[in-house]
Structure 1
């Protein structure tokens, strides 16, 4: 079974006496949507894992809370999932130095809900006088009668500090991983990302195979990967597709968008740059070999501390065509018994649609310049995102395309991945051997 980092959930009863003497608090209406061990007094859901809490009497789910420093007046942002047609008034219960303050919540539902009934929402909590540094927040529905406070469940308010010293240069956010069995491509992607300069990968995981979990555990032990349990499918009918016409449900694609927004804020002050993409997508520079080398070029051409959009290119894994002479593929027979796609054997891309047709894209951005993100790009930011010239860098997206109308003779050879093949083959072999996924005779 996939490891669940919810074991770090902590419950505390500190401050219980102070809370009980406050008579103006409305009925507690935040109910944990995931089981937790509750003690007497108020329960505190400890960060950093993303949790799902339901506001009782409503359809709203709370994901995580962060202190927003960049607005004219500081406030708390609670990333949420809301039923768009529900008319709801909420209030914020803010804990500051073990005292409790109340403010009226402001709700903003993101417009990128793709037509599903539920969408990502920002719940903003203005900071009352005397509460400049709240440590925890509980969201309750207004108009309730019970003033019992013992069942309030608080989210920890993260991003308390805004130091300009970042432990990570580049962080990649993967969302969301479900029914995942693509072992070989996962290892190849994680090794490629390290070549590119990524030193943190955040995986929002619903479920995966035992072998995939073995790989995640290996990279977690190395300090590269952080696995965030993402159990939204337990509480909503999640769609597996981008549109309700393709797969009806309550929310878009396993709740991908709230997960991406959580990752944005979670690493806002921990990573210099943030990349939002999937495990089967690689943003490859064409004139240099890493993002560390690429970023100065982007900053020179498009501005520093900005948001950069990279055009997607599909390399359909249904086609395995030989490269043109005199190019030869490295010997890769040792991986034939490893589950998953081998990106080094898929070197032909579909033709790029001419503009103004939409060619989807992913981004690398300074997270501190962005307020809200979506699957492709940003919704709200301090700077306009720049399109990166595809001759400078672009996405290599190796995945099954299903029924496509492109014929093999229409595909375009692109051997850029082979520039990394020698290092990549050696690195992947080492990981597969250390995780026990490559038999000893597979090294011969």
Structure 2
């Protein structure tokens, strides 16, 4: 009896410890599960003394930026994953070939599926294409066409063309294998969805889509916001960003514009499979594939928006194609079609605005008032309105706007295979403004040429940029 009475306090203490432990675990799990819930987020905001606003209510703002302003945390983790596009890279077993995406090609005499791929150029592979067609699986032989613009790297972009077998007009998915290792009975065989099932010639969801590739280690927040706002003023209603890596501040901006519906972010993971270069030539940067796989990304974007966008522009985030006689691309493209012909690859000359010089406009053109952007990371394009004189690279570093349905393949600068050829656009009609590090590094400040075309957009441009920076927490709210 004495032994039993002596054990009871110990048993009670153990039970109390177990009870307390269970309560702590349950509270922790509830906190972890519901930390992004709207009600919980608003309680946090109320506790911190942050007043609610429509944009905060809509976007579930729950964190503060480094400057102490309310910052954007868009929306809960699961919701954010639904908004992100996916891009699965697949390996072809027994080879070095990587598959990016597959699209039904309606424009060839024989209907085919174009599989965009990255291949080791020295490797000779006989490809087999396995189609899923309703309840059947059918085979055909694939042929790889390696793009000529590989810039001397070991790997290059290729189109693996797979003719549709008899009885398979609308395949839902496709697998590409090596003829040496292919097996139609492999239960682990991976398939790519075949996109672009329906050919369209009019009534597109978007008028202008801009393809940005590739974003890696990106921190230039201010120029990113300025570019997105300028593109919208020009008439762009879709921007596609192929992203490998970026800063948390950049991701906040991408999330903001993704939520608005302007931006589609496509995770770009080729660097997991092949040693990508950070430069455009092997001697400038070690690696096996040009510039983080920029060319397969551009070709994927071209096909991805072939039947979604009337026009597609291929240029970088630090580049803007500005009309000189009209204000938008909506007005510009009819002029180009009339002057040069429709379905051309329109090439725009490159003007470099070096960021190592910061000069105000001439006295006759004062800079409009703007918010204090000095604490926003990145380049302010309005501080760099002086360009380098024209020289040879003005023509080699051009960028393009195309009808994607008139192009079969593209490179960084210009289409490789366009149905109706290309046209240089007279610089008095439109040209490209490239705000970046200097190309002609020996130039002195007095050799630069003032060009204030950007200022003509400033009345709408500056307030739009300020609004975004406030709503994402980079500038203090005006309330």
TM-score w.r.t. length of structure 1: 0.87
- Structure 1 runs of 4+ aligned residues shifted over 4 Å read 1-9
Worse-matched range after superposition: 260-269 or 52-61: 52-61
Name the CA distance, whole Å, in 1 between partners of 2:131 and 2:264: 28
Match of 1:22 in 2: none
Q: Which residue of 2 aligns with 1:25?
A: none
Could you tell me how far 1:236 is from its partner in structure 2?
Answer: 1.4
In the TM superposition, what is the alpha-carbon distance from 1:305 to its structure 2 partner?
2.6
Looking at structure 1, the residues matched to 182 and 203 of structure 2 have their Cα atoms a distance apart, in angstroms, of 47
2:230 to 192, 198, 221: 192
Residue 66 (str. 1) matches residue 103 (str. 2): yes
Shift, 1:143, TM fit: 2.0
Q: Which residue of 2 aligns with 1:310?
A: 348
In the TM superposition, what whole-angstrom CA distance separates every residue of 1:365-395 from its partner, at most 9, and x where no partner exists?
0000000000000111101111000110000
Partner of 2:424: 387
- 2:160 maps to 123
Q: For each residue in 1:347-378, what CA deviation from the matched residue of structure 2 results, as whole angstroms up to 9, or x when unmatched? A: 000011159x8431000000000000000001
Residue 298 of structure 2 aligns to a residue in which SS? helix
Counterparts in 2 of 1:377 and 1:101: CA distance versus 1, 3 Å: same
State the shift of 1:401 in Å. Answer: 2.6
The correspondence of residues 216-227 of structure 1 with structure 2, limited to 5 A, is 216-227=254-265
Closer, same or farther in 2 for the Cα pair 1:5/1:373, shift >3 Å? Answer: farther
- Check if 1:281 corresponds to 2:323: no
**Residue 436 of structure 1 pairs with residue 473 of structure 2:** yes
Backbone CA RMSD of aligned residues = 2.2
Q: Is the Cα contact below 8 Å between 2:128 and 2:182 reproduced in 1?
A: no
Q: Is the 8 A contact 2:388 2:440 kept in 1?
A: no
Equivalent residues of 2:130, 2:184 under 8 A apart: no
* Structure of larger gyration radius: 2
Q: How many Å apart are 1:317 and its aligned residue?
A: 0.6
Larger mean CA deviation between 212-221 and 320-329 belongs to 320-329
Q: Secondary structure at the match of 1:194?
A: helix
2:245 aligned with 1:241: no
Q: CA deviation at 1:50?
A: 2.4
For residues 161 and 279 of structure 1, what CA distance do their matches in structure 2 show?
A: 31
- Out of 341, 364, 375, the position equivalent to 1:337 is 375
What corresponds to 1:153 in structure 2?
A: 190
Gaps of 5+ in 2: 1-72
More helix as a share of residues: 2
Asked whether the equivalents of residues 207 and 310 of structure 2 are also in contact (C-alpha less than 8 Å), the reply is yes
State the aligned residue count.
404
> Counterpart of 2:92?
55
1:15-414 equivalence runs, <5 A: 49-144=86-181, 148-163=185-200, 164-332=202-370, 334-353=372-391, 358-401=395-438, 404-414=441-451
CA distance in 2, matches of 1:402, 1:352: 11
TM-score (norm 2): 0.81
Structure-2 separation of matches of 1:167 and 1:423:
25
Distance 1:375 1:298, change over 3 A: same
Structure 1 residue runs without a partner (length 5+): 10-46
**Displacement of 1:137 after TM fit?**
0.2
| In 2, Cα distance between equivalents of 1:49 and 1:101 | 27
Structure 2 distance, partners of 1:132, 1:412, is 57
> Partners in 2 of 1:90 and 1:258 — Cα distance?
19
